[in-house]
A and B are shown apart, each in its own frame.
Chain A
Amino acid sequence: MAQVSLNSIRKVYPNGFEAVTPSSFDIKDGEFVVLVGPSGCGKSTLLRMIAGLEDITSGDLHIAGRQVNHVDPADRDIAMVFQNYALYPHMTVRRNIGYGLKNRKTPKAEIDRKVEEAAALLNLSDYLDRKPSQLSGGQRQRVAMGRAIVRDPALFLFDEPLSNLDAKLRNQMRIEIKALQKRLGVTSIYVTHDQVEAMTMADRIVVLNAGRIEQIGTPSEIYHSPASTFVASFMGAPPMNLVQAQFQDGAVRLPCGTAVLDAPTSRRGPITLGIRPEDVRLGQGQTAFDVHLVEELGAHRLLHGQIAGQPFTAHVVKDTIASPGAHVVDLPRAALALFDTQTGARL
């Protein structure tokens, strides 16, 4: 078990590209932290620096109170699960899981015991003498997990471990990994580009964009009070509605002139208004909502259309009758978020 602490960790590639701007955060003992962001946001680079697979350009990395910037990956007391599983194709499942222990001079009997234990935990007992090529995707994923847990590391690192699985298996493995992590209580860092995985698995989420940390918080904090328009539009499906508006005559007004919020400040100029689709009240208020398309999702419906010429989505429960055409909506004040149009930061 360990506490991980990143202090101004920065990565610059030899070609001058800054993949990760100086980033700092701490991870508590036993915490499950998810790094999420779009492709190329630096989340994998950050994880690989923690693993020791990439050099850290500057900054301090501590695992369990020990500075590990220049420690070999094998000596950092970590275990990593890779996106394509990275199993050793020539070894049986048994040897795959036990390989890390064998190299740590663990006695043979103890390796056998631990491998059997891990295999039982992951329902792999019947497959121990098979080669990875004889396993399904989900089973390979489990072997990769087994290889990680058998070592009893201080820190688990997951690099998009579920992205090669089909949707059904992904949901199942998501729950299994989370349950396993809670049971073992091992501090974990999990990288994904899938915001659903991030929301469902994380104790805390770190949202990254263009090599910079946008926000750190619990799934609920990230969802309900996004720190920037990027987080607002990245987290949640469908994402938060973002509408351009103006401070004018003591109120925030849509371009059509409708006042949606009294503004206590004397501030003037453009502003970005954010609201989650499920907070929109259909059939109330006086904001015109022109619906183009109704998306039927069974448990609920999504109405896609425009407000004041800007794309907008509303979420309604399944009993609400809705058809394309002109509607009115109410945007409850408590649900509105205001962002600086220029910087995207929350006001």
Chain B
Amino acid sequence: MKRAGFTTHWLPILLLMPQLSIIIVFFYWPAAEAVQSSFYLEDPFGFGSTFVGLENYTDLAGNAEYRRIAWFTVIFTALVTFFSLALALLLAVKADKVIRGARSYRTLIMWVYAVAPPVAGFVGVMLFNQSWGPLTRAFQSLGHDFVLGVNYSDTAFAMVLVSVWKQVPVNFIFFLSGLQSIPKSVREAALIDNRSASGRFWDVTFPLLAPTGFFLLIINITYALFDTFGVIDTLVKGEPGNNPMTLVYKVYVDGFRGNDLGGSSAQSVILMVLVLALTVFQFRLVERRIHYT
């Protein structure tokens, strides 16, 4: 393809301005501020700040609670990502085989996608309501007294459940379109080559879904790390106490509840580096290697 070039430097810059200015005002500037304030100890009441170098970072490294939360975040992310992808794949494979009423079936599954995270969290709060939540009752009948927001593992369970429920539709849409883009004749060739349905799935369908799968893996990790904030906030009602939380929620709690702006900035810088690493991983390794045609 031939590239058209600009004769002057000003026109392209002018055309990029609207987009650039938004990114600068809402991302680069705050990010730079965060990096800067991560080297300072801020007075909680805004009366100046002291340069402390890397102290905010070394504090975090030695902080047992931070490490515990980081560990929880890893487990939480792994669980949410795995179950969101696995359930969505299962649903997509089944939906792909539905012939009658396929459209309404798919629409029903995709609907959840339109629910905002805090609303999803609120639905979770309802389901796990202490006195009349249907899921609480279900647990009761199994002999477990489910206490959302008080019991650590109960709350963690609810967080994973609601986060997965919220994410499955997105993955479902991608997996379904991925499945439908596999040529029909390739599947038919497999039908003649292999009599076992599960063999065909793992040998042919699954590898051909891999590009979609890896893309979704990155998207889901990012989702579990960052976008579950709304779900977590609703479930723990802004009162962390003994409750589990993820690193992003910790940034919020320390910065806006604890007024430790320096420490919270240092945490957000760490997360920023994490996202950067994920993005590089996605572009360098995944998108280049997992490509068939």
Interface residues of A (CB under 8 A from B): 51-53, 72-75, 78-80, 82-84, 86-90, 99-100, 103, 131, 133, 147
Contact = CB atoms under 8 A, between A and B. Distances in A.
B194 A100 contact: yes
A252 B27 CA distance: 90
- The 7 lowest CB-CB distance pairs between A and B, nearest first, are A74-B195, A86-B185, A100-B193, A86-B189, A89-B292, A103-B194, A90-B207
Nearest to B190: A88
Interface string B249-293: 000000000000000000000000000000000000000000011
Given A84-B183, A86-B185, A103-B196, A73 B292 contact: no
Contacts of B191: 52-53, 72-74
A78 B191 CA distance: 11
A83 B185 contact: yes
B228 to A, nearest CB: 33
B188 A53 contact: yes
B192 A79 contact: yes
Nearest to A51: B192
Contact of A74 (B183, B194, B207, B208): B194
Residue with the greatest number of chain A CB neighbours at <10 A, chosen from B186, B188, B192, B204: B192
Contacts of A75: 195
A103 B199 contact: yes
Interface string B178-211: 0000010110111111111001000110011010
A99 B207 CA distance: 14
Contact of B189 (A72, A88, A103): A88
Contact of B186 (A73, A74, A86): A86
A53 B190 CA distance: 11
A88 B293 contact: no
Contact of B193 (A51, A90, A99): A99
B189 to A, nearest CB: 4
A171 B183 CA distance: 27
Contacts of A89: 186, 208, 292-293
Contacts of B186: 86-89
A86 B292 contact: no
B188 A99 contact: no
A103 B198 CA distance: 12
A74 B292 contact: no
A86 B190 CA distance: 9
A90 B292 contact: yes
Contacts of A78: 192
A53 B188 CA distance: 7
Contacts of B194: 74, 99-100, 103
Contacts of A147: 189, 193
Nearest to B195: A74
Nearest to B188: A53
Nearest to A78: B192
Nearest to A131: B292
User: What band does the interface of chain B fall in when counting residues whose beta carbon is under 8 Å from A?
Assistant: 20 to 34
A87 B186 CA distance: 6
B185 A88 contact: no
Contact of A86 (B188, B207, B208, B293): B188
Contacts of A90: 207-208, 210, 292
14 contacts: A53-B191, A72-B191, A73-B192, A74-B194, A80-B192, A82-B189, A84-B185, A86-B189, A88-B189, A100-B192, A103-B193, A103-B194, A133-B292, A147-B189
B183 A80 contact: no
A78 B192 CA distance: 8
Nearest to A159: B185
Contacts of B208: 89-90
Nearest to A75: B195
B183 A86 contact: yes
Interface string B115-152: 00000000000000000000000000000000000000
A87 B208 CA distance: 12
Contacts of B189: 80, 82, 86-88, 147
Contacts of A52: 191-192
Contacts of A80: 188-189, 192
A82 B195 contact: no
Contacts of A83: 185
A80 B191 CA distance: 11
A140 B94 CA distance: 32
Given A86-B183, A89-B293, 6 more contacts: A53-B188, A73-B192, A80-B192, A83-B185, A86-B188, A147-B193
Contacts of B293: 89, 133
A346 B194 CA distance: 47
Contact of A82 (B185, B203, B207, B292): B185
A51 B190 CA distance: 12
A131 B291 CA distance: 11
B168 to A, nearest CB: 26
Contacts of B188: 51, 53, 73, 80, 82, 86
A74 B29 CA distance: 62
